[in-house]
């Protein structure tokens, strides 16, 4: 059971690592052009938004740390 959970977690990380930008940009386009309301797809879009914001936060944090080390 523990191995299955780890495999699902790893697959989810890989899936959303490569899929977050196309889904984040493509879903609003599809929604505007007539995609029916689907709460699961909406939740996935917000999850992708969260992952993108997390990546931006980590990038800014790392840049600040690197600047402090250079000074």
Q: What is the gyration radius of the CA atoms in the chain, in angstroms?
A: 17
Q: Residue range 1-8: average pLDDT?
A: 83
Q: Residue range 12-21: average pLDDT?
A: 82
The answer to whether the CB of 27 falls within 8 A of the CB of 41 is: yes
Q: Which residue has the higher pLDDT, 20 or 16?
A: 20
Look up residue 64 and give its two tokens.
Answer: 């600040």
Q: DSSP string of the chain? A: -HHHHHHHHHHHHHHHHHHHHHHHHHHHHHHHTTPPP-HHHHHHHHHHHHHHHHHHHHHHHHHHHHHHHH-
Domain count, the chain: 1
Q: Which range marks the domain in which residue 19 is found? A: 2-70
- What does the pLDDT read at residue 71? 56
- What does the pLDDT read at residue 14? 80
Residue 25 has pLDDT above 90, yes or no: yes
Interval 27-62: pLDDT, tens: 999 999 998 988 999 998 998 999 899 889 999 988
């Amino acid at each position: 059971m523990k191995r299955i959970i780890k495999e699902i977690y790893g697959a989810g990380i890989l899936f959303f690592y490569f899929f977050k930008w196309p889904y984040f940009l493509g879903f609003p386009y599809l929604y505007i052009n007539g995609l029916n309301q689907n709460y699961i797809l909406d939740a996935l879009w917000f999850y992708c938004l969260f992952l993108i914001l997390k990546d931006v936060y980590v990038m800014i944090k790392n840049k600040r740390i690197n600047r402090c080390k250079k000074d």
